[in-house]
Chains A and B, each alone.
Chain A
Amino acid sequence: MNAGLQESVQKFIEHHVFRHTGSVDTWNVPFYHINALEWLRYDGVMLGVVVLLLCVLALRVRRRYQTIPKGFAAITELYVLFIRDHIVYANMGEVIGRRFVSFFCTLFVFILCGNLLGLIPLFSTVTGNISVTAGLATIFMMVCLYAVLRIRGVHGLVSAFVPHGLPGWLMPLMVVMEIVSFFSRVFALTIRLFCNMLAGHIVIYSLIGMTIVFGWVAIPSIAVAVVMYFFELFVAFLQAYIFTLLSAIFINIMVNPEH
C-alpha cells in the first residue's frame, strides 16, 4: 500500500472515531438542518440520553413496586441482588458494603448502558470518550476517599497509605509508592474502559474502511466486521463488570487493613 491509500484509511478512521468528541456549535446550526439523530453523535448529548434512559427505567421500577415484584421490577431486583451478593458483599463484607450497594449498582448500569448504546450505528459511545471515563474514575476516587474517611476516620486516611509491618527506614518510600499506586489504579480504570470501547470501534471502522480502499475484493471483511460486533457486545458487558468489580476491590483494599 502506498502512502496515499494509507493516509486515506487513517483519515477515514480519524474522521469517524474522533468526530464524536467535542461540543455542539450552537451559534452555527442552521434551523432547517436540525435532525434529531444528528445530535446524538455528540458525546455530551449522548450522556444526557443515557442519564435520561436510566432515570426513566428507575422511575418505572419505583412507581410500581409491590412486595412481590413482577415484570421489569423483578429483573431489576435480580440485578441488584447480583451486584450486592457477587460484587459488593463478596469483596467488602456486609457491614461496610451496605452503604455502597447503590453506588455500585448505578456505576454498573451506567457503564453498561453507555457501552451498549454506542453499538447502535448512529449513536456515539459515551464511555469511549476519555473525559467521561476520567470522570467516572474521579467519582470512584472520591467515593474511595469518602469511604476511608467515614469508616476509619481522619487517622485512618493517613494510615491507609502506610503499609503494615515494615522497618522504619523503609516507610517514606513505601508511603510514596502507596500514593502512586492509588493514582495509578484510578488512571488504569479510566484508560482500560476508554481503550476497550475505542478499540472496538476502530477495528470495525478499519474493517469497513478496507472496502473503501480495496473495492469489491474486500466484501468478506464486512462479515468479519459483523463478528467483531458480537465480540464488542461481549466486551461491553465485560468492561462494565470489570470496572465495578475493580472499584469494589480497590475500596476494600483501602478500607480494610490488610494484615
Chain B
Amino acid sequence: MMLPLAEISTAAIGAGLVIVGAGLGIGIVFFSGLQSMARQPELQSKLQTQMIIGAAFIEGAALFALVICLMKG
C-alpha cells in the first residue's frame, strides 16, 4: 500500500514506533514522579528510586522490540 518507488525499510519504521512508545511511557512515569515530589518534597529519595525502577522496566520492554527490529534489518 505505501511503497512508492524507493524501498521503505520496515525495520527502521518499527524501531521508530518502539521509541515513541518508550518515550511516552518513561515521560509519564517521570511526569507523575516530579509532580509528586513537588507536592511532598520529603518523599524525594523514595520516589526517585521508584521512578528509576519504573523507567528501567519500560526501557527493557522497548529494548526487546528494538532487538527484533535490529535483527530484521
Contacts and interface: CB of A to CB of B under 8 A. Distances in A.
Q: Decide whether A and B are members of one complex.
A: yes
Interface in B11-58: 52-53, 56
B18 to A, nearest CB: 12
Interface in B53-67: 53, 56, 59-61, 63-64, 66-67
Contacts of B66: 195, 199
A250 to B, nearest CB: 12
By size class, the interface of chain B is 10 to 19
Contact of B53 (A195, A196, A239, A242): A242
B52 A191 contact: no
Contacts of B67: 191, 195
A142 B70 CA distance: 30
A242 B54 CA distance: 10
B53 A192 contact: no
B34 to A, nearest CB: 18
Main secondary structure of the interface of A (DSSP, over half): helix
Contacts of B53: 242, 245-246
Contact of B63 (A195, A238, A245): A195
B56 A191 contact: no
Contacts of A56: none
A224 interface: no
Interface of A: 188, 191-192, 195-196, 199, 238-239, 242, 245-246
Interface of B: 52-53, 56, 59-61, 63-64, 66-67
